[in-house]
Amino acid sequence: MNIILNKAREYEMNHEGAIKLQKPDFHLASRVGWMNDPNGFSVYNNEYHMFYQYHPYSASWGPMHWGHAKSKDLINWEYLPTALAPDQEYDQFGCFSGSAVTLDDGKHLLMYTGVKKVKLPNGEETDIQTQCIAIGDGVNYKKHPNNPVITADMLPEGCSKVDFRDPKIWRKEDGSYLCVVGNRPADGSGQVVLFSSKNAIDWKYEDILSYNGNRLGKMWECPDFFELNEKGVLLISPQDVLPQGYEYGGGNVTACLIGDFDNENNIFKEEINHAIDYGLDFYAPQSVLTESQRRIMVGWMANWDTNGLQNPGREWFGQMSIPRELHVINNRLIQNPVKEIENYRKNKVEYQEVTFKGNKTFEAVKGRRIDLEVIVKPSINCDEFSIKLAQDEVCYTAIKYDVKKSLLTMDRKFSGCRRAVLNEKSAIVPLKDGLLKLRLILDKQSIETFINDGDKAMTMLIFTDLNAEGISFFSDEEITLNLVKYDLVK
């Protein structure tokens, strides 16, 4: 084992004990140090494996390693030793995002972006980003002697040789392999390029799978492509997006492109696109096909513009979303928490057909590790309904619904944040058969909201002390409310 990798493994073992109690209970968090994008989300030897962008030595971004954990049920995660470290000439600046697949011989292959810095003739430095592989047994991985296996020299004229990263590999039914990689064309926007291989080692360029044309931000990071419910689905994470109504916020966002895919000729024709998550803290999603043929997605539950707000003085930063099961219905990506979370539900509390106006609380409806289902039927005169979560005398986070505008807003400006940053986000949510249906997963310092049976999702971190457990409801006019609340207990 090389010195750089061994150092990371020793460090995480020696430092993880002191921070265990700070972490969420039902979301995979960084073992120590910094976590961002999910990588290598895969099934290997009948277990789920999750790797992640990782800087073990501080709670801030640094030279990228791959952290590693595994799970039998997508909820309980067991940490494994650091899988990759920046220890080769071609990845000396970091082992950036990538994916994983199982080979015919039973080995586990990781595909990642290696980054190194080179000095230009004018004295400036630039990145060289290439795609590399490492093969192993689920714990230890050896980088391939042919690395890098995909280089920017394989791209057509006009494609950026600097922004070329985040390979997502998958296996076709005929046993061959495809991978998509994020790239920038000559117009400076974003695109996703496609490569093919017969053995996952020797690769050739195929085509541009999808092109941005400056319609949705700039560079398209972390692409993921799969077929689901007879549709082709491309997940992307565009950078530097200008807000587009309530569909896409500004900055770095996530988007889902849905269309037809010609499997024989590897041609994708986009029909529609929409946001994946309408909250503030969801990025770089990656999916896996389970052995039961479910498509499961997980994202990094953070925001590049506000990630420093929660880590002053802490030894760790970063967590993943609850894994979400996906479907495509009427050209829309539907997402709901995986059914496995229901195995951790305890202490059911239920209220049915409660009609009220003004403020309302319910006995035993409180907590910071809960699964809460709410169905609201507003009266014809109702303008506003809201839920306050993680509430005490000072702090709360609100979910507000403007009935007339069909506008759902998550608002954390009173959650304990002491910085002038964006703290609320909204989405257009029409009533469904006269009802608003919400499912809220709270896990210490995060709230994930699933709306109208998974039609939309909104994810947000909060900054509130864990002693703030109150939950209250408000309506300006009469409404009828049904709710079911469970504690989430390990």
Q: Are strands 369-378 and 470-488 parallel, antiparallel or unpaired?
A: antiparallel
Question: 223 preceded by cis ω (within 30°)?
Answer: no
DSSP bridge partners of 55: 34
Give the Cα separation of 339 and 325 in Å (integer).
8
Burial (CB count <10 Å: 0-12, 13-18, 19+), residue 106 = exposed
Extended beta strands in 338-435, E state = 345-360, 369-378, 384-391, 397-402, 407-411, 424-428
Q: Which of 25, 37, 153, 402 is catalytic?
A: 37
Is 411 tagged catalytic? no
Residue 290 and residue 186: Cα distance in Å, rounded? 38
For residues 231 and 179, the answer to whether their CB atoms sit within 8 Å is: no
| Structural element, H or E, at residue 110 | strand 108-119
Distance CA 471, CA 361 (A): 7
- Contact 32/16 with Cβ under 8 angstroms? yes
Residues recognised as catalytic = 37
